[in-house]
Amino acid sequence: MSFLLRVKQLFGGDTPVQEKSPVEAHEIGAEPQEPVVSAAAQTVEQQGGRARREAADFDALEELFIDAGIDVDTTMAILQEVRRGGLLGRPTAEQVIERIRGKLSAVLDLDSTLHTTGSPAVILVTGVNGAGKTSSIAKLANMLKQQHRTVLLIAADTFRAGAVDQLAILADRVGVPMMRSVEGQDPSSVVFNGLQKAVADKVDVVVIDTAGRLENKKNLTFELQKVVRVIETKFGLPLSETLLVIDATTGENALMQARAFSEAIPISGIILTKIDSGAKGGSIVSIARELRIPIKLVCNGETLMSIKPFDKDDVVNMILLSE
């Protein structure tokens, strides 16, 4: 059942079911007695039951958030606001959903402008193995080409056998040039060669593919920092974007990934991939809240066209409609 349907189920009945008080429950099966509770006391009793039920529903809502991949701190912060909401009495399902939508949107509301100006603009793409770096780079190159920008791809994933060929095939398909490398080559030397070519050819945007071996964090950090030094210090080119690719199906581990990469180099934005895969993807909300990293692009399929600028509604819907 989707997040949305579950909320509807929890808050669907506008008239709260009256619960039995512990005293009443205890008395089940006892001899019928004259009612001794006054009308006023009964009202208090009903209110108590309502409050208990509401608390239980909010507990269930909390679980739903955690299930969706949103961390406990972020969940509590959002739910506190949702509860506060400013409305008297028990909220209806529509009110709860509206407030959740509002809060998720507010957390995701960061500057998502993709910067592609520079001479050339340099976009570095990072992320763990299989997150979707290489395919997103091809989609991004295709998008830029459609905007009549010239693009050069740099194959700086020299770690994985076949990585360069994979990018080469995609570059061909898009129709953009690529700076080749050989397996085991120092990534920063490929980047150096690529930037030289890009400057000579007056290319508008350079996009750099990197290896994603987070399991060897020390080497990865060292490599990434060296690549950044080559771009910014040797070439004096400010990085237009350092994009971290996050697979929306990753779950809460995505927050650890974002923390680890941000510790290595400053991350300017996220490419959120695989939002078409029924992902819960809630960890992206945790990343936005804790690290303030905006999502800049989302990928929703395997074709070259399956990329678009970030739209809050797409991501909020991904979370709310996830099973």
Minimum distance, C-beta of residue 238 to Mg ion, in the bound complex (Å):
25
Q: DSSP states of 7-42 as a string?
A: HHHHH--SSPPPPPPHHHHHHTTSPP----S-HHHH
> Is residue 274 close enough to count as binding ligand GTP by CB under 6 A?
yes
> Is residue 276 close enough to count as binding ligand GTP by CB under 6 A?
yes
Question: Which of 50, 83, 160, 180: binder of ligand GTP (CB under 6 A)?
Answer: 160
Q: Which residue is nearest to Mg ion (CB)?
A: 134
Size of the site for ligand GTP (CB under 6 A): 22
Nearer CB in complex with ligand GTP: 129/185: 129
Q: How far apart are CA 247 and CA 305, in angstroms?
A: 18
Nearer CB in complex with Mg ion: 104/190: 190
Closest listed residue to residue 289, CA positions, set 77, 85, 52, 40: 77
Asked if 290 and 282 touch (Cβ cutoff 8 Å), the reply is no
Residue listed under structure tokens 């019928």: 32
> Is residue 277 close enough to count as binding ligand GTP by CB under 6 A?
yes
> Is residue 134 close enough to count as binding ligand GTP by CB under 6 A?
yes
Q: What single letter denotes the amino acid at residue 170?
A: L
| Ordered alpha helix ranges (H), the chain | 3-11, 22-27, 39-67, 72-84, 93-108, 133-146, 163-174, 187-200, 217-229, 253-264, 283-291, 312-321
Closest listed residue to residue 158, CA positions, set 227, 258, 243, 261: 227
Instruction: Give the one entry of ligand GTP, Mg ion, none that residue 142 binds, where binding means its C-beta sits below a cut-off of 5 to 8 angstroms depending on kind.
Output: none
Minimum distance, C-beta of residue 89 to ligand GTP, in the bound complex (Å):
43
- Under DSSP, the state recorded for 249 is G
Nearer CB in complex with ligand GTP: 274/280: 274
> Is residue 268 close enough to count as binding ligand GTP by CB under 6 A?
no
Nearer CB in complex with Mg ion: 125/254: 125
Minimum distance, C-beta of residue 287 to Mg ion, in the bound complex (Å):
21
Minimum distance, C-beta of residue 273 to ligand GTP, in the bound complex (Å):
4
> Is residue 296 close enough to count as binding ligand GTP by CB under 6 A?
no
Nearer CB in complex with ligand GTP: 82/207: 207
Q: DSSP states of 191-234 as a string?
A: HHHHHHHHHHTT-SEEEEEE---GGGHHHHHHHHHHHHHIIIII
Asked if 283 and 322 touch (Cβ cutoff 8 Å), the reply is no
Residues within the interface to ligand GTP (CB under 6 A): 127, 129-135, 157, 160, 163, 212, 245, 273-274, 276-277, 299-302, 306
